[in-house]
Amino acid sequence: MPDVVVIGGGISGLATAHSLMQQGLDVQLLERQATPGGNAISERFDGFLMEHGPTTFNASVPGASEHIAALGLLGNASDLGPDVKNRYLRDQGRLTGISARPAGFLLSNYLSPGARLSMLFEAVRPRRKNGAEESIHDFTSRRFGREFADKVIEPMAAGLFMGDSHALSINGAFARLAEMEQEHGSIIRAILKARTGSEPGRHLYSWRDGIGTIPTILAQRLGTRVQTGVTVTGLRKTLQGFEVKTSQAAVMARAVVLAVQPHVAASLLEPLDPDAAIAAGDITAPPVNVVFLGYRRAQVAHPLDGLGFLSTKDPARIISGAQFVSTMYEGRAPDGHVAISAYAGGARNPELARLDEAALVNEVHKELADLLGIKGAPMMHRTRRWALGLPQYELGHPTRVAALNSTPARVPGLFVTGNFMRGISVANCLNSADETARLVAEDVTGNAQFKASQTG
């Protein structure tokens, strides 16, 4: 009987299992798909590299570089390309380039003079004294002004979460900003004191073969501990721990970690921990479409000198954001070509899940052609349609996470982790996995020592 069964072979599950293995525990990972990795899929074809899921690794997250170094991946990480000089925002059908320097928004005419002045006044606005939860939009409107919230933060929420800034929780999605206000009285003052990480994109890395490099390495290290093509159908508490019911033989384990999507976690938790099941079931993940397009460089008039662009909400347009992937990292397109990934759907346009592939590609290409001065049709295209996209950290999310974190108190030996808990980025998932593994190891080894003392 293994000490721990981890259910789910995405980055969160693989990293949790890997950490448990390193601590000397007997761990087994069960994954429904034929290949582990979850949505961290990097596909190379015809000289292009498409990221179906996450595209970058944010090394500014505390502990992130240590994780990558421990996997032997820090030395061959790729920095952003030298041509990433601007950030672009689309408003009313027009792109505006803004310098990536910290003062970029103050020097650009993207925001009105009044909005830029309001930004500066953030440093002297009083901190909020009542602790009621706020949406991202309400928080940033209060601190920086309504125009900044509408034209900068709303597109950012759509780009990072494929979500709605009016529905997302500041304490759930950007908890550090809420903490900065309480600790320093001002976001600007907190950033000036830190003096690190203030330049957007400064700490974004990838690898020659993309983000899929991380789950590939983790799976290789786990070896036969990973079993793919296995669907978990239910859990039962036993005197020794748990019976994990699967599409194949049942597996017994002392502890179980759920590293699956929220709706799957809700289903498995419901017979054992209804409170946690309700919390997981309340986390939505609207569908997301990824459209990857390749062009000859001569077709595109725009310099593509940035990470890409984010878009304010516009019912007439479907792209929430796009990345200039061949500018971001080397090896994403053949010589003389460029590659662009566009994102549509999410909380902003969930109905796009019903659009057929040809229509989706055509609409995305038309929008990009208008914005970037593209002549002629793309020379290639690929799509990825995620029926369930990114988890939404909506108002009430901290309470839901607290309910999921307290599952082991109600059901000893049962733990939950994943990108719907403490951050959606790959780096956040690695941190969350480490913390989960620490708690699991303490539980398993503590119980083993207690039983040994009883029998001794």
Whether 349 and 415 share a structural domain:
no
Whether 353 and 373 share a structural domain:
yes
Helix intervals (H) in 195-282: 213-222, 262-269, 274-281
C-alpha to C-alpha distance for 127 and 134, rounded to whole angstroms: 13
Whether 276 and 293 share a structural domain:
no
- Which helix (H) or strand (E) segment holds residue 141: the answer is helix 136-144
Which tokens is 75 given?
């030395």
Reported confidence tier of residue 450, pLDDT bands at 50, 70, 90: very low
Residue 455 predicted with pLDDT over 60: no
Whether 334 and 407 share a structural domain:
no
Select the more confidently predicted residue: 352 or 218.
Answer: 218
Three-state SS letters, 16-52: HHHHHHHCCCCEEEEECCCCCCCCCCEEEECCEEEEC
Does residue 77 lie in a domain region? no
Which tokens is 98 given?
């803004």
Residue 111: Cβ within 10 Å count: 24
pTM of the model: 0.93
Domain count for the chain: 3
Does residue 189 lie in a domain region? yes
Does residue 198 lie in a domain region? no
Report the mean per-residue pLDDT for the chain. Answer: 93
- pLDDT tens column, 101-114: 778 888 899 999 99
The CATH number of residue 9's host domain is: 3.50.50.60
Question: What's the confidence (pLDDT) of residue 198?
Answer: 41
The CATH number of residue 175's host domain is: 1.10.3110.10
The CATH number of residue 335's host domain is: 3.90.660.20
Does residue 322 lie in a domain region? yes
Any idea what DSSP says for residue 396?
T
Reported confidence tier of residue 448, pLDDT bands at 50, 70, 90: low
Does residue 21 lie in a domain region? yes
Whether 399 and 332 share a structural domain:
no
Question: What's the confidence (pLDDT) of residue 1?
Answer: 87
Percent of the chain's residues with pLDDT above 70: 96
DSSP letters, 145-181, are -HHHIIIIIHHHHHHHHSS-TTTBBHHHH-HHHHHHH
Whether 169 and 222 share a structural domain:
no
Q: Which of 386, 412, 443 represents a domain boundary (last residue)?
A: 386
Whether 337 and 379 share a structural domain:
yes
- pLDDT tens column, 12-54: 999 999 999 999 999 999 999 999 999 999 999 999 999 999 9
Q: Tell me the residue range of the domain where 292 lies.
A: 50-62+286-386
Does residue 330 lie in a domain region? yes
Does residue 431 lie in a domain region? yes
Whether 225 and 269 share a structural domain:
yes
C-alpha to C-alpha distance for 250 and 256, rounded to whole angstroms: 13
Measured CA to CA in angstroms, residue 119 lies from 149, 184, 338 at distances of 10, 16, 36
Q: Which of 343, 370, 386 represents a domain boundary (last residue)?
A: 386
Q: Which of 365, 386, 407 represents a domain boundary (last residue)?
A: 386
Whether 338 and 429 share a structural domain:
no
Does residue 223 lie in a domain region? yes
